[in-house]
Each structure stands twice: as structure tokens, then as C-alpha cells.
Amino acid sequence: MKKEKLLRIFIDSEDKYNGELLWKYILKSVKERGLAGATVIKAAAGIGSHSEIHTISVLALSFNLPLIIEIIDEEKKIEDFISFIDTFLEEGLVTVQDVEVKIYRHR
């Protein structure tokens, strides 16, 4: 068992940074900075900081849905990454919690 940190970044799917989708920019940054990995989860619905309901609608031309980016790594790497995203994240929520990694396998 290894104790690590779980970083969650809550943003909208259409958020951008320098003309690029923010979630793509964050994933590229995860890779460039050598973090263990990241998963982007698209929510079916949510209420954001502006109290607007974002949901999948057949009539919607755009699906601006909530996203959660999850990253698990050692505390130092997570804290450094938080400092990095703090320089460009205009809207969103960032949380960190302890997590115990029970099994981690890769080739």
C-alpha cells in the first residue's frame, strides 16, 4: 500500500486556455510534467459556480458539460501541479484528498 494524493479539477468541457480546450491543455501538461496519469470524466449534468444547470439536451447545439480531471500521484508532484494550474485556471474547483493505492500495474 502506498499513500498518495488524489487531485480533482472541476471545469466545463468548453473552457479554453490560449485557444485550446482546457482539459486537453491540462492533459498535455500532466504528460510534460511527468505525473503518473490523468483521467477526464464527463458528467451527464451538474450545477456550476454560477448556479446554472448544465445537462445533456437533445435540443442543445453545444454540450458544455461539467468535466472532472482526476490525477493520482505523490504529494509533491500534486502540489507542484496545483501551483502550475493556479497560474492559468480562470474558473473551476480544485480539490485534493488522501488516497491509498492498493494495486497499480502497468507494462
Which run of H or E residues covers position 84?
helix 75-85
More confident residue, 54 or 46: 46
- Count other C-beta atoms under 10 Å from residue 78's C-beta: 19
* Residues 90-102 pLDDT 10s: 999 999 999 999 9
Q: What's the pLDDT band for 1 if we cut at 50, 70, 90? A: low
Which run of H or E residues covers position 97?
strand 93-101
Q: Give the residue from 5, 29, 6, 2 showing the smallest Cα distance to 89.
A: 29
